[in-house]
Amino acid sequence: GLLGRPACLGRRSARGRPEPPANPMGWMPPAGGIALCQGGCVGSHITEEASMQVAIIGIDLAKRTFQVHGAAADGSVVFRKKLSRERLLPFLAPQPSAIVAMEACASAHHWGREIMSFGHEVRLIPPIYVKPFVKRQKNDAADAEAITEAASRPTMRFVAVKSAEQQ
């Protein structure tokens, strides 16, 4: 399945009854009995989002809504989301520790301090270094993807997050 939609692991027999997926190690039903999905398949479902670990999260900051782009260590897309200011921190709090990248600006330092409190590593990138990574027309979603791509580069230069006093 694609991005959070379950990939069906089971198949149906010639009679149309669900049967377990082929598994060389032997298939065992989940505790409590056999689980059937809405399609009638046997077994558990694995989602792409759960199976891929987010390594880098790129955030394009704006006034009201932020575009968030999550990528795995190999560069594959894990999620793309549009979040309001109120929903950004609750979204990032339960995420496993990751690199969170943003373009450096005055508000990025504030958001960086908040995000670091959740255990993430925050990297601020000067906007001039992000621009070459925009692949298509300039919009917030493309910018978030470009920020993620730029942050994954080993030779990229970053800006340190300033404290409230320094700011």
pLDDT in tens, the chain (167 residues): 444 444 444 444 555 555 544 544 444 444 444 444 444 444 433 344 444 688 899 999 988 999 999 999 888 899 999 999 999 999 999 999 999 999 999 899 999 999 999 999 999 999 999 998 898 888 888 899 999 999 999 899 999 999 889 88
Query: How does 97-117 read in b/e, with b if 16+ C-beta sit within 10 Å?
Result: ebbbbbbbeeebbebbeebee
> Has this prediction a pTM greater than 0.85?
no
> Which residue's entry shows tokens 């065992």?
28
Q: What is d(CA 55, CA 47) in angstroms, rounded to the nearest whole number? A: 17
Classify burial at 13, counting beta carbons within 10 Å of its beta carbon; exposed 0-12, middle 13-18, buried 19 or more.
exposed
80 SS3 class: strand
Residue pair 44/37 in contact (Cβ under 8 Å)? The answer is no
